[in-house]
Amino acid sequence: MPAATKVRSPAVTQTRAAEDYLEQIHNLIEAKGYARVVDIAQNLSISQASVTNMIQKLDAEGYLVYERYRGVILTESGRRVGKAIAKRHDILTRLLTSFGIDKDTVHKDVEGMEHHISKSTLKVLTLILEELEGNAELLKRLKKKME
Ligand code: ZN
């Protein structure tokens, strides 16, 4: 193994921040067909300079392609990460919202949890959500226990 490989710092994409970027970029592309630095900065409440900095790292690691005038395009691996986080975000948000938890709390909790749950845990939560969404009686009964 070449020496340069050994001293390489951990991949930036293994961080929570990188996952948030890929999630936002994925959402923007889904909604608008493209993702610009200005929109990413706004959605993440981060300066455009910081966004450009992170995007260059993600580009170098092969998660996206950044073209100054066209904006950001996700590669296959970037899309995989962005989509997975967006999916966790959606399932967790729907599950907590169905219990009537307030929007701010849901948002705060989901933004943390979406980076930590495994594939199998997500599967369990998805099954519970589907069951609850199809069974108003059960949801009502559970919600009553929260009072
Ligand atoms: Zn999220």
Q: Which residues surround ligand 1, an ion (CB under 5 A)?
A: 89, 114
Task: Report the separation in Å between the CA atom of 107 and the middle of ligand 1, taken as the mean of its atom positions.
Answer: 8
Q: What's the Cα-to-Cα distance from 43 to each of 21, 24, 40, 68, 130, rounded to whole Å?
A: 10, 7, 5, 19, 29
Same domain, 99 and 71: no
Is pLDDT of 9 > 50? Answer: no
DSSP secondary structure letters along 6-50: HTPPPPGGGSHHHHHHHHHHHHHHHHHS-B-HHHHHHHHT--HHH
Q: Is residue 45 in a domain?
A: yes
pLDDT one-digit tens code per residue, 110-124: 999 999 899 999 999
> Residue 13: which pLDDT band, with cuts at 50, 70 and 90?
low
Confidence of residue 16 (pLDDT cuts 50, 70, 90): confident
* Model pLDDT, residue 8: 46
Question: pLDDT tens for residues 21-47?
Answer: 999 999 999 999 889 999 999 999 999
Containing structural domain, residue 55: 16-81
Note the pTM of the prediction, 2 decimals: 0.84
User: 98 in a domain, yes or no?
Assistant: yes
Tell me 63's DSSP state: S
Ligand 1 centroid from CA 82, angstroms: 10
Are 54 and 34 members of one domain? yes
